[in-house]
Amino acid sequence: MKKVKKITLKPKLSLFLKILGLILCLLLGGFLFYRKQINDIKKVGYSELASKNILFASKKSYILSIGENETLNKVFEEKTYKEEYLDSYRKINYVNQEHFIENVNKLLDIGYSVGDINIIFAHGNDEAVSRFVKREKVRYLEEFFTIKYAKLDNYDRYVAYSDATGEDETTTVLYVNLDLDKEDYAEATLVKDFSMDMLINKHRYLEEDFIPKDLVEIDEALASEKGMKASHVALNAYQKMQKAAEKEGYSIVINSAYRSYQDQIDISNSYLRAYGQNYVDKYVAKPGFSEHQTGLAFDIGSRKVNVFENSKEYSWMQENAHKYGFIRRFSKQKEGITGFRNEPWHYRYVGVEIATYIYENNMSLEEYFVNFIDINE
């Protein structure tokens, strides 16, 4: 009986195996074909996920004709692409921002050109762009934002400032980025960290308890009074400068250096008694807004001539201070930008590299800050 059963089962089994084999072959073939399609796309520079989605969207030949494109890769990874924007996506420079594709879609919906969109992403981080896409389409985008340090968030202020003053785009963006469209001391920015390139002015202030971390006492041989203090890094540089000046026959002296928040209150009060409120408002920095609180600023005098500006020491400083890391901080020419009147005696330590750049390019620290420090990440 057993033998018979086996014999009768054999043809059925072999048919079953044949069909199974055929199915497996088809599946394997299909799988290999599918893998080859994916690999073709990956080879061009797309991720596994993007390649799968490209294949399922029947966009393989389109993608192969384009080649590697980071923005298209992201678009297909997220599966948020719109058919009609395919040719736009590929012309948009990829930016590593969380809501990049979502924002690209919104900007295209609003009607911005790919050129505009590239400008927008170059001037704002993810938060700034996400705010910007909620607005209606703006005008003058290219005018302001061909300036590399223009900020998306400042757009309305650029338009308002330019309308109110008639200034060109370059001046407008510079002034607004420095908050010069706001009243002095109003809505000022708090600066917390000590650094040799820190910027303190009428729009950027220090807290009452801010003390430079490397504050040291100044040797009284260098100063006009006992007990003055300064940042160590700045004082070191000053000593080198003073020696070099001396070698050439010029005699400079420190008349004022670090001033605490309380010192600035005392100075304000004494000027108030002597000259009145108008004078104080105009010429004396409010407590927290004086660069002297950083320990990096020095008021320098000549040991030979009372009025520093008339001294040979002043001329020497003009030519040489940058070699030691110091800049002439407040000049007549830059009054509109620094917010302080001409102060020939006031020097600020920023390090040799920055000081040399500022000297050679006839800049203010404010302009340097806007160009190189306060830029979008």
- Min. distance of Cβ 293 from Zn ion in angstroms? 11
Candidate residues 119, 346, 354, 366; the one interacting with Zn ion per rule CB under 5 A:
346
Q: How far apart are alpha carbons 70 and 66 in whole angstroms?
A: 11
- Min. distance of Cβ 200 from Zn ion in angstroms? 12
In the set 127, 167, 343, 367, the catalytic residue is: 343
Residues near 247 by beta carbon (within 8 Å), at least 6 away in sequence: none
Let me know if 343 is a catalytic residue.
yes
- Min. distance of Cβ 292 from Zn ion in angstroms? 6
Choose between 51 and 290: whose C-beta lies nearer to Zn ion.
290
Q: Is 244 exposed, middle or buried (0-12, 13-18, 19+ CB in 10 A)?
A: middle
> Which residues between 243 and 282 bind Zn ion (CB under 5 A)?
none
- Min. distance of Cβ 311 from Zn ion in angstroms? 17
Identify which range of 40-48, 71-79, 151-159, 291-299 contacts Zn ion by CB under 5 A: 291-299
Identify which range of 94-102, 145-153, 339-347, 367-375 contacts Zn ion by CB under 5 A: 339-347
Choose between 179 and 299: whose C-beta lies nearer to Zn ion.
299
- For residues 327 and 299, the answer to whether their CB atoms sit within 8 Å is no
Closest to 340 measured CA to CA, from 271, 267, 283, 264: 283
Q: Residues touching Zn ion: how many (CB under 5 A)?
A: 2
Identify which range of 36-44, 241-249, 296-304, 315-323 contacts Zn ion by CB under 5 A: 296-304
Count of residues for the chain?
Answer: 377
Choose between 324 and 330: whose C-beta lies nearer to Zn ion.
330
Choose between 123 and 346: whose C-beta lies nearer to Zn ion.
346
Residues near 305 by beta carbon (within 8 Å), at least 6 away in sequence: 311, 312, 313
Choose between 177 and 294: whose C-beta lies nearer to Zn ion.
294
- Min. distance of Cβ 329 from Zn ion in angstroms? 8
Choose between 63 and 230: whose C-beta lies nearer to Zn ion.
230
- 3-state per-residue secondary structure call for 219-275: CHHHECCCCCEEEHHHHHHHHHHHHHHHHCCCCEEEEECCCCHHHHHHHHHHHHHHH
Largest Cα–Cα distance of the chain, in whole Å? 130
- Min. distance of Cβ 189 from Zn ion in angstroms? 21
- Min. distance of Cβ 330 from Zn ion in angstroms? 8
- For residues 89 and 105, the answer to whether their CB atoms sit within 8 Å is no
> Residue with the closest Cβ to Zn ion?
346
CA distances from 374 to 148, 198, 358, 377 (A): 11, 11, 16, 9
Identify which range of 139-147, 148-156, 218-226, 346-354 contacts Zn ion by CB under 5 A: 346-354
- 3-state per-residue secondary structure call for 61-105: HHHHHHCCCHHHHHHHHHCCCCHHHHHHHCCCCCCCCCCHHHHHH
> Which residues between 194 and 253 bind Zn ion (CB under 5 A)?
none
Choose between 141 and 321: whose C-beta lies nearer to Zn ion.
321
Residues near 224 by beta carbon (within 8 Å), at least 6 away in sequence: 253, 254, 255, 301
| Binding of Zn ion by 299 (CB under 5 A) | yes
Residue type, 336: G
Q: Which residues pair with 217 in a beta bridge?
A: 229
Cα dihedral 346/348/353/359 (nearest 10): -20
Q: How far apart are alpha carbons 62 and 68 in whole angstroms?
A: 11
Query: What residues line the site for Zn ion (CB under 5 A)?
Result: 299, 346
Active-site amino acid positions: 343
